[in-house]
Amino acid sequence: MSDTLQAPADDREGSAELLRFRVGDMDCPSCVARIQGRLETVDGVVEVLGSPVSRTVTVRHRGSVDPDRLRHEMGRLGYAAHPLNGSAPAGEPVSTFGTRAAWITYAAMSLFAVGGLLHLAGVRQVLVATGWGTWGPLTPPDILFLLSAVVGGTNFFGKGVKAALARSLDMNFLMTVAIVGAALIGETMEAAAIAFLFSLAELLESYSVDRARASVASLMELAPDTARLVGPDGETVVPASSLSVGQRVRVRPGERIPADGRVVEGRSAVDQSPITGESIPVDMAPGDRVFAGTINREGGLEVEVEREADHSTLARITQLIEEAEQAKSPTERFVERFARWYTPAVTALAVLVVAVPPLVVGADFETWFVRGLTLLVIACPCALVISTPVAVVSGITAAARHGVLIKGGSYLEAAGELKVLALDKTGTLTVGHPRVVGVHPADGGDASELLTLAASVESRSEHPVARAIVDEARARGRTPSIATDFEALPGTGARATVQGRTVQVVRAEAVRGSPPRPADSEAHTLVGVEDDEGFLGWVAVADEPREGVDDILRRVRREGIRHVALLTGDNEATARRVGEGAGVDAVHAALLPEDKVAILRELEERWGPVGMVGDGINDGPALATARVGIAMGAAGSDTALETADVALMGDDLNRLPYLLRLSHDARRIIRQNIVAALMVKLLLALLVPLGMVSLVTAVLVGDMGVSLAVIGNALRLGRVEA
């Protein structure tokens, strides 16, 4: 289990506090790394976490740390930071193509286009032929190209200078050097092309990343802005954020439920897909729990608020997704380490390319200077380092839309490595509440009459077994008789007077005498029914396997699971009945929590990485021990959300095959992105000394092209079907 988002061990019990910032133009992990490196030098800062997708930086600190000091430090690096309260965005989102950077890019592109048209029309050649030499005044195309370079460069020149002062070889610095160098040797067209193409690449990259960012923002937009508050004076429309625990709200058909709560009046079908991923609306009645952001489809509901807006299930999901973005996966950490080696190495190679041929063999300096500048462009690691986090965020947010909450990239990747699934029984493989599975009257009596008699007594009880007997009688069309003189028998059952005779319904051990039991009694919970004259019969109750669970397990095996085990504290006979019905490979029964942990370690040693599926509460130690802990039915449960690495928000095992498939696709796409980025850049780097790659090609292919390719590939994860 990960504690990625907690403070370091020596600080967790201390007074660590959080400061959060929205940081403009932080679209690349290398930007995050620069900010982390700078802020971690500030006294009192314990840890700095950042997400280029949500453009947020979270600072854990001790004592008094001035937020303005942190903003100033980020400003020195060229990033505008604004404090955040909670997880709310700083202001309204602005279209990527309507920002200041976008208009600068349009202007640079226009200047380059006009200069290019004049160049193609032969204006430069005519002017040179009439006396305007290349060492004389600049020609109109040259002037337009230089203007294009200066205008386009305003998007990153400032950051490049700040990077130089901070002795950082980031992309802004590398591109700035390439543009200035090209302009100094008279390659004005190349200088302009680099400036506007790099600005365009940044713009398109921001747009692509914004698509991933929008999927996170859309979660919070599910919660309505207003609510219909029910008070003494009638119905009042109030901000949903102002609701407090205990207040009642009215939800009309077609409206979204504004807060987590319980239905107190009305019946309706509620679309819970935004939270649990369930496609079929769930029937709700008084006493049932509902969640903020879900949709009331049919009748009117009155809901009593149980959680304020900032603590709703929807808010917790959004918060955990934002935190998951900041938790780096093993692949992401490897790529960042590689990039720290790659960029200086290629930059050093660029210096050698510029210096060695002219000095050693007397080659043309200008030719090799341009080739060195081209290598500097290729040295920009942006495409490489953005390849993994965009895929991770795309996968995590896609999973959230389908009711699967993944706590970080490491778990998204790890789920695809699993070879074993260990499943708890109650509430995981089974429905979690008992059902009548057999009625066995004594001496050839009538089964329906026996069930009705038992239901008449149990209609006054709230015990789960009693509820199962009453429900079964009603399902068979039998109406329980009126019971009087009801008496609960603690630990045993219940007694009441039904139709003038005293009837008791008790557990098997409390039945008088030793009546014969049904053949499969060891796999069920037996309830005996007696009256004044003697034993009347047995009612067998069991927690039945979920419908279709055998098909679900077949599907998870197709996703690479080699062994499925059932782990339960229940008795051997019951566990084996459930396990055989579900089609598991092994049954481990009568286990204490520490026994489950030991079994998980044995399974991992024999078969490989293990995923544990449980309810997130009773299975805490096992979930923590497994390579990936998966909690069932986590909607509304803070314990399950905090305990597990992956939470299935709905009470539905059908999300397991989807989780495994998504993880496999994510791992494949991440590998594709890394290989593609590396191969393209290394190939270009090898071709540059041979004169086969121009500055413009380096920008178009080595930077913009490969960056957009890996981002587009990563966004395909949003289309994985559940």
Catalogue the active-site residues.
424
At 408, list the tokens: 């970080």
Angle between helix axes 313-326 and 382-401 (nearest 10 degrees) is 160
CA distance 547 to 282: 17
| Helix boundaries (H) for 2-98 | 29-39, 67-76
| Helix boundaries (H) for 363-517 | 365-378, 382-401, 409-415, 447-458, 464-475
At 711, list the tokens: 């981002």
Closest CA to 254 of 280, 231, 224, 233: 224
Closest CA to 591 of 602, 580, 606: 602
CA distance 206 to 400: 22
End-to-end CA distance of the chain: 25
The pairing of beta strand 646-648 with beta strand 628-631: parallel
At 395, list the tokens: 């996968």
Measured in whole angstroms, how far is the alpha carbon of residue 152 from the centre of its chain? 36
Q: Which residues of 118-156 are buried (b: 16+ CB within 10 A; e: fewer)?
A: bbeeeebeebeeeebeeeeebbebbebbbbbbbbbbebb
* Structural contact between residues 634 and 649, judged by C-beta atoms closer than 8 angstroms: yes
Question: What is the largest distance, in Å, between two alpha-carbon atoms of the chain?
Answer: 127
Residues 6+ apart with CB under 8 A from 230: 247, 248, 249, 250, 302
Tell me how far CA of residue 594 lies from CA of 44, 103, 319, 611, 643, in angstroms: 40, 62, 32, 17, 17
Question: CA 71, 309, 92, 163 torsion: positive or negative?
Answer: positive
Closest CA to 338 of 330, 349, 348: 330
* Structural contact between residues 20 and 8, judged by C-beta atoms closer than 8 angstroms: no
Residues 6+ apart with CB under 8 A from 103: none
Tell me how far CA of residue 549 lies from CA of 553, 558, 580, 613, 657, in angstroms: 6, 14, 11, 13, 12
Tell me how far CA of residue 619 lies from CA of 481, 623, 647, in angstroms: 41, 6, 13
Residues 6+ apart with CB under 8 A from 527: 454, 465, 469, 493, 505, 506, 507, 508, 538, 539, 540, 541
Long-range contact set of residues 580-589: C-beta below 8 Å, sequence gap at least 24: 581/545, 581/549, 581/550, 582/429, 582/545, 582/549, 582/550, 582/553, 583/549, 583/550, 583/553, 583/554, 584/423, 584/429, 584/553
Q: Which residues of 69-105 are buried (b: 16+ CB within 10 A; e: fewer)?
A: ebbebbeebbbebeebeebeebeeeeebeeeebbebb
Q: How many residues does the chain have?
A: 722
Closest CA to 309 of 331, 329, 293, 326: 293
CA distance 423 to 428: 7
Lateral strand order in the sheet of 289-290: 234-239, 226-231, 248-251, 301-305, 261-265, 289-290
* Structural contact between residues 320 and 407, judged by C-beta atoms closer than 8 angstroms: yes
Name the helix (H) or strand (E) containing 554: helix 549-558
Question: CA 238, 242, 247, 250 torsion: positive or negative?
Answer: positive
Neighbours of 319 (CB within 10 A): 17
